[in-house]
Amino acid sequence: MNSLRLALAYLRFHWVRSIVLVLVVGMILAVPSATQILLASSERQLTARAEATPLVLGRRGSALDLTMNAIYFSDEHPEPLSMAEVDVIWDSNYATPIPLHTRFTSDGFRIVGTSIEYFSFRDLTLLEGRSLAVLGEAVIGAAVAADLGVGVGDGVVSSPENLFDLDGVYPLELKIVGVLARTNTPDDEAIFTDIKTAWVIEGIGHGHDDVLTGANGAENVQASASLLQFNRITPDNLDSFHFHGDPGGFPVTAILVDPYDLRGATILRGRYLDPDGRAQMVVPATVVRGLVDRIFRIKTLLDTVTLVIGVAALAAVALAIFLSYRLRGPEVKTAIKIGAGRGTIAQLLAVETAILLTGSIALAAILTFLVSRNADGWVAWLLATGT
Amino acid sequence: MVELEDLSFTYPDGAFHLNVPALRIESGERVAVVGPSGTGKTTLLNLISGLIAPRTGRITVDDTNVASLGEAARRSFRAHSIGFIFQDFALLDYLTARENILYPYRITDLKFDRNVRVRADELATTSGLSGKLDRRPGSLSQGEQQRVAICRALLPAPSLILADEATGNLDPANKIVILDLLFDHAAATNAAILAVTHDHDLLPRFDRVIDFTAFRAEATT
């Protein structure tokens, strides 16, 4: 009891040193376990989502970029395919094609233009509101709703890509009609809209009400870079929106392909084996497995580095504690002269060390708990962020 | 009563010998030890308190032969029978003045109870520390710090107080005050005082002065 009283008095008096030691040791203990949890969650999420996506069709190029973009909505931008490829899949009667258009963002969140089949394909359920019905509507993921503080009835505005491109992408206000239940997948971080709405953002489709503004009632129009304005689709102007050109030539970033059976999948894959063809069909599970294998080869190295750094840091902490004891030499001498035994002094120092270690372990446990509780959400966000 | 007979001590490296043929200090007696540095004055205090063992001879404090005690018994002897006062006060900066006074009860086999705390407060009050018991040493003057150290040494009511340059860090006015305080408190319990000092102005206040050169520390080389 006396040792505890004295130890607490010492640690309280030297509170800065005590807190620094607790933080350092706590972090040394927490980082390896937190890393393990995050890596395990990464592997689980990467694998699970990839395995839930049988095939992805996209422009020939990096299979990894295509997969990451199509299933995690990451920042990679593979060259687009044409919408005609969707019709080809439909016409084959081997699979359901789900087009994806992921070029645009709003407040950092990916706008995913797709078809209504996407929601059933991913087993997404609505927390509130309804699904997409008409042009200009959006259904948002749970993280988008939470981070932006928006819900049904609010709007989100797509980010313009180039302020000085008159013929380019104008911001389009999307009306939120639904919020998805949280899934701890990249779907939480996405703003879903009909693919036609994505084409409107891209400038392929447009209306004639708000894009060009008449000045003071005159017949001339203003459409300069200095006149950046919202393009809002309303019931009043909805009918005026139209698309120019062949819809089969409109762009899609990728196509999720959901085969009806193994035979259909095999036949479809065979059609895109030509290395000179414009399109490639990848199996996300295979691509991601290769990525995970690489990550876990790196993880082995990371584990070694973490171990070395941990040992070095603990040695530094031990040295700091040892030097602290050395500095307390006069105190120890006084205690011995007064009549204390070396066992009593050792007990006092041991209690101090035990209190610091207890604090560090508690801190590490709290950090590890927080990481394990939020790992899935953080990993989903990291995967969606990409590189 | 303290009695030394045919005492000799040699440091392990053989740097010097200390020989004390005979020395007797009566209870309540106030004895000053003077002499040049390096003649073994502090060594004498360490021998009497059992911190180090003599090569030959006998040290008796209140009928206890200190040299014959085992390690644990010597610790207990120091805690109960010896009060140490140091030149640098040796207070713990992380404890309050009250906790410094009670410190021996936290780390030795001295039994702590409520009465000890009451006596500590009384002792501190009569030592001029009233209202300062909850302050840490860093916020006390040097004179106040030495008062705290004196209270710490006296609280267990030892029969012998060993003071090693106890007034060495104090200004002239404080030296007299602190020494008188020490004498008053020691007189109350009839404790003997053996004080090492270099301050010849203080010597008239002692009952007896021992010039340590008489015991002469001898170099072996």
Rounded to an integer, the average pLDDT of A340-363 is 92
pLDDT higher at B37 or A237 = B37
Report the pLDDT value the prediction gives residue B163, as an integer from 0 to 100. 92
Strand partners, A100: A114, A254
Rounded to an integer, the average pLDDT of A17-39 is 89
Q: How far apart, in whole angstroms, are the C-alpha atoms of residue B169 and residue B85?
A: 12
Dump pLDDT digits (tens) for A258-275: 999 999 999 999 999 988
φ/ψ of residue B38, rounded to 5 = 85, 10
> Residue ranges of the alpha helices (H) in chain A?
2-13, 15-51, 63-72, 84-92, 117-121, 142-148, 195-202, 262-271, 284-327, 329-338, 342-385
Q: How far apart, in whole angstroms, are the C-alpha atoms of residue A119 and residue A133?
A: 13
Q: Does B90 touch chain A (CB under 8 A)?
A: yes
pLDDT higher at B31 or A301 = B31
Shortest CB distance from B94 goes to which of A9, A335, A338? Answer: A9
Q: Is 90 exceeded by the pLDDT of residue A170?
A: no
Report the pLDDT value the prediction gives residue B181, as an integer from 0 to 100. 87
Count of alpha carbons within 13 angstroms of residue A86, beta-carbon side: 23
**pLDDT-derived band at B216, boundaries 50, 70, 90:** low
φ/ψ of residue A348, rounded to 5 = -60, -50
Rounded to the nearest integer, the mean pLDDT of chain B is 88
Query: DSSP characters for A157-209?
Result: EPPPS-TT-TTSPPPEEEEEEEEEPP-SSGGGGEEEEEHHHHHHHHTSEE-SS
Query: Which residue in B has a C-alpha nearest to residue A341's C-alpha?
Result: B75
β A105-106/A279-282 pair status: unpaired
Q: Are B115 and B143 in contact (CB under 8 A)?
A: no
Q: What angle do CA A276, A97, A132 make, to 5 degrees?
A: 135
Contacts of A309 (CB under 8 A, 6+ apart): none
Q: How far apart, in whole angstroms, are the C-alpha atoms of residue A139 and residue B189?
A: 89
A339/B75 touch (CB, cutoff 8 Å), yes or no: yes
Shortest CB distance from B49 goes to which of A10, A12, A337? Answer: A337
Dump pLDDT digits (tens) for A92-105: 999 999 999 999 99
**pLDDT-derived band at A122, boundaries 50, 70, 90:** very high
**pLDDT-derived band at B167, boundaries 50, 70, 90:** confident
φ/ψ of residue A257, rounded to 5 = -115, 120
Rounded to an integer, the average pLDDT of B83-93 is 90
Shortest CB distance from B51 goes to which of A10, A337, A340? Answer: A337
Dump pLDDT digits (tens) for B171-196: 888 888 888 888 988 898 899 999 99
CB atoms within 10 A of CB A121: 17
Q: Is 70 exceeded by the pLDDT of residue A1?
A: no
Q: Is 80 exceeded by the pLDDT of residue A283?
A: yes
Report the pLDDT value the prediction gives residue A41, as an integer from 0 to 100. 86
Q: Is 80 exceeded by the pLDDT of residue A165?
A: no
Q: Is 70 exceeded by the pLDDT of residue A143?
A: yes
Q: What are the distances in angstroms from CA A350 to CA A148, A189, A315, A332?
A: 50, 49, 17, 14
Dump pLDDT digits (tens) for A171-212: 888 999 999 999 888 899 999 999 999 988 887 766 655 444
Q: Does A96 touch chain B (CB under 8 A)?
A: no
Report the pLDDT value the prediction gives residue A206, as an integer from 0 to 100. 67
Q: How far apart, in whole angstroms, are the C-alpha atoms of residue B215 and residue B219?
A: 13
From the number of C-beta atoms within 10 Å of its C-beta (0-12, 13-18, 19+), residue A131 rates as: middle
Q: B112: which chain A residues are within 8 Å (Cβ-Cβ)?
A: 2
Task: Spell out the SS3 assignment of chain B.
Answer: CEEEEEEEEECCCCCEEEEEEEEEECCCCEEEEECCCCCCHHHHHHHHCCCCCCCEEEEEECCEEHHHCCHHHHHHHHHHHEEEEECCCCCCCCCCHHHHHHHHHHHCCCCCCHHHHHHHHHHHHHCCCCCCCCCCHHHCCHHHHHHHHHHHHHCCCCCEEEEECCCCCCCHHHHHHHHHHHHHHHHHHCCEEEEECCCHHHHHHCCEEEEHHHCCCEECC
**pLDDT-derived band at B99, boundaries 50, 70, 90:** very high
First to last CA, chain A: 55
Residue B158 token pair: 């030892």
Q: Does A134 touch chain B (CB under 8 A)?
A: no
Q: Is 60 exceeded by the pLDDT of residue B29?
A: yes
Q: What are the distances in angstroms from CA A106 to CA A77, A110, A113, A226?
A: 16, 6, 13, 21
Q: B107: which chain A residues are within 8 Å (Cβ-Cβ)?
A: 2, 6, 335, 338-340, 344-345, 348
Residue at B70: amino acid letter: G
Counted residue by residue, chain B has a size of 221
β B56-61/B64-65 pair status: antiparallel
**pLDDT-derived band at B215, boundaries 50, 70, 90:** low
Report the pLDDT value the prediction gives residue B7, as an integer from 0 to 100. 87
Q: Is 80 exceeded by the pLDDT of residue A167?
A: no
Q: Does B157 touch chain A (CB under 8 A)?
A: no
Q: Is 80 exceeded by the pLDDT of residue A76?
A: no
Rounded to an integer, the average pLDDT of B35-47 is 86
Q: Does B99 touch chain A (CB under 8 A)?
A: yes
What is the distance of C-alpha B109 from the center of its chain?
A: 19
Dump pLDDT digits (tens) for A209-238: 544 444 454 455 444 444 444 477 777 767
Closest by alpha carbon to B216, among B80, B16, B56?
B16
Q: Are B205 and B30 in contact (CB under 8 A)?
A: yes
> 3-state class of A258 per DSSP?
strand
Which of B:112-131 have CB within 8 Å of A? 112
Q: B105: which chain A residues are within 8 Å (Cβ-Cβ)?
A: 2
Residues of chain A above pLDDT 90, percent = 46
Report the pLDDT value the prediction gives residue B217, as an integer from 0 to 100. 47
Report the pLDDT value the prediction gives residue A128, as an integer from 0 to 100. 93
Dump pLDDT digits (tens) for A30-57: 988 888 888 888 888 888 889 999 999 9
What is the distance of C-alpha A384 from the center of its chain?
A: 3
Look at the block and give the residue holding tokens 């006390």: B140
Q: Is 70 exceeded by the pLDDT of residue B210?
A: yes
Dump pLDDT digits (tens) for A290-334: 888 887 788 788 788 888 888 888 888 888 888 888 888 889 999
Rounded to an integer, the average pLDDT of B86-114 is 92
Report the pLDDT value the prediction gives residue A208, as an integer from 0 to 100. 57
Rounded to an integer, the average pLDDT of A59-82 is 88
pLDDT higher at A164 or A140 = A140
Q: How far apart, in whole angstroms, are the C-alpha atoms of residue A185 and residue A110?
A: 13
Report the pLDDT value the prediction gives residue A275, as an integer from 0 to 100. 84
Report the pLDDT value the prediction gives residue A164, as an integer from 0 to 100. 58
Counted residue by residue, chain A has a size of 387
Report the pLDDT value the prediction gives residue A291, as an integer from 0 to 100. 85
Q: What angle do CA A293, A296, A302 make, to 5 degrees?
A: 155
pTM given for the model: 0.66
Q: Does B42 touch chain A (CB under 8 A)?
A: no
Q: Is 50 exceeded by the pLDDT of residue B23?
A: yes
